[in-house]
Amino acid sequence: MTFPVAVALAMDAFAVAVASGSSCKDLTVRHAVRMALFFGGFQAFMPLLGALAGLTIRRYIQTYDHWVAFALLCGVGVKMIYESFKVKTVGNGFNPASVPVLLGLSVATSIDALAVGVTLSLLVSDIILAAAVIGAVTFVLSYAGTVIGKKLGHFFENRIETLGGVVLIVLGMKILLTHILS
């Protein structure tokens, strides 16, 4: 279950990496690695924060945790799909390789991972491993997205984010149906 969630969560960062790669003319390998480290690091850290919150409320919601997981995953998925259809513009002076911009982008793309961390605390026994997988997958996909963006531009950006949202909704429905039907 962790790997599909990791891929779905990484889609935001991948889409931003594609856009950043296409908008930055002098993007180097060092910039791509830095971007991937920021995105991967934040995507690994946020589920840990979410899991910590989830563990503190776990005993109160155990009887309906499948509904909580369903609601959170579907909510994040719908948000990702909605965001994928919004027009995104990049202003002049935007430098996706600068540290302040990377911090903002990393937080923005990892907020979903915070909510999913709550869900993972209810479903996964080793949250540290799950966070490491999420961070590693995000690192790889962010690096790849930067390279793809430099070569292909914005063609895939919104479609990838939509796919990530659909994957999260399907996972939420699977969790709910598995619990209800068993």
User: pLDDT tens digits, residue range 43-64?
Assistant: 999 999 999 988 888 778 778 8
- Point out the least confidently predicted range of 15-24, 45-54, 118-127: 15-24
**Sequence-separated (6 or more) residues with CB below 8 Å from residue 102:** 34, 35, 38, 96
Q: pLDDT exceeding 70 applies to what percent of the chain?
A: 91
Q: Give the model's confidence band at 22: pLDDT under 50 very low, under 70 low, under 90 confident, else very high.
A: confident
DSSP 38-96: HHHHHHHHHHHHHHHHHHHHHHHHGGGHHHHHHHHHHHHHHHHHHHHHS-----TT--T
Structure tokens at 56: 């503190």
Q: Residue 89 pLDDT > 60, yes or no?
A: no
Residue spans of the domains in the chain: they are: 2-181
- Structure confidence at residue 7 (pLDDT): 92
- Structure confidence at residue 132 (pLDDT): 96
Q: Tell me the mean pLDDT in the region 157-177.
A: 78
